[in-house]
Amino acid sequence: MEIKVPQVGESIVEAEIAEWLKKDGDYVEKDDLLLELETEKVNVELNAEASGTLTILAQDGETVKIGAVIGRIDTSAQKTDRAQDADSDKEPQQEEKTTDKETPVGKEEKKEAKSSEKPMNPAVPKIAAERGIDPQQIKGSGRDGRVLVDDIPAEAEQKDQSEEPQKPADTKTQPATKPGADRTERTERVAMSRIRRKIAEHLLKATQETAMLTTFNDADMSRVIALRTSYKEAFLKKYDVPLGFMSFFVKACAEALKNYPEVNASIDGSDILYHHYRDIGVAVGSKRGLVVPVIRDADHLRFDEIETTIRDLAARADSGKLSLDELEGGTFTISNGGIYGSVLSTPLLNPPQSAILGMHAIQERAVVRDGEIVIRPIMNLALSYDHRIIDGQQAVSFLKQVKTYIEAPETLLLKL
């Protein structure tokens, strides 16, 4: 039986073999996890469709086309074949025992040391060694604690200086690196991951192929904060999920999009596609890069359903478990740079979408209310839009509508 690279999306034509989790010649059971493929958008796990002996035809790190045969499973092989292979592997070990006269205690120590080693991707030991890091000390985020390349710190932690005796200062000691030394020795070259290359292409396309413009406003978060504070315990108790700010903005945008269909539309050649549904993407930073999972029909969801969906998507984005369907088809995007401390920024469009809302950090500021200067928690909002399809009046009005919903949540709940 042939193992082929599956079709994971119309726009994806190739994938990279991230790692085989079984070895060439292993006997595998049906549904055993065989390997992980990395595409430009998602990671895909392949399981054995039958039991038999595995033959690997494409190795880790190879780029393969969709539909390519990367391995085979000999379904005629019996499970006992593996035991015979194991016996043949033991024969050289017996010769080594005769030559080296290794004691049973020594063999047990080697066996114990081997079993204590962490599972890791093939590239991890090399990269870790280059950075002066013991790969066995790295906490893995992959399946069964497997250490991935993304888990490797940028540089080794400094050793405790108390471990080494202090040496008297020597004014004649030369600096570790001489001025003017070859900088290539202090430069590390790391190949972009497939998803990082796709992100780069996507963002470059957004700046080169759209007439992007950004309009700004701010929102007084007092009412939302008060509402959230008053009901957060009851909300958590009833729905088993915390009430966050993002659900308010998702609902606000979903309702505002109904009044401004151009902001929810996209350009297809010389046509404008008006989407009569509100599928809102939420930008999520993960170890693999920025991904935008989509909340389907956000205008029909309750606050608890939105919060549950966001948390589930974010968790699976971080572990690389999102499906391609969950990343495609959004009509509008929200990006929250405020969680990283951003106060103001210009978000880039997520083509083919025509608009994106940027949220920012909440700051207490002096503002004028009813002729008096008061302190209020203020969030800056930025709406980037494609001027080819959205006029300034529509963009400004849409952002003002979102601001109104946030500053007066009762109008959002009553859909006024």
Catalytic center residues? 387, 391
> In sequence order, what are the beta bridge partners of 12?
none
CA distances from 154 to 67, 135, 136, 150, 195 (A): 36, 13, 16, 10, 19
- Supply 163's token pair: 């471990």
* Residues 6 or more apart whose Cβ sits within 8 Å of residue 62: 16, 17
Max CA distance (Å), the chain: 95
The full DSSP string for 344-365 is: S--PPP-TTBSEEEEEEEEEEE
Number of Cβ atoms within 10 Å of the Cβ of 48: 19
Task: Please state, in angstroms and rounded to a whole number, the distance separating the CA atoms of residues 155 and 133.
Answer: 7
Contact predicate 53/29, CB 8 Å: no
Distance of alpha carbon 89 from alpha carbon 347, whole angstroms: 58
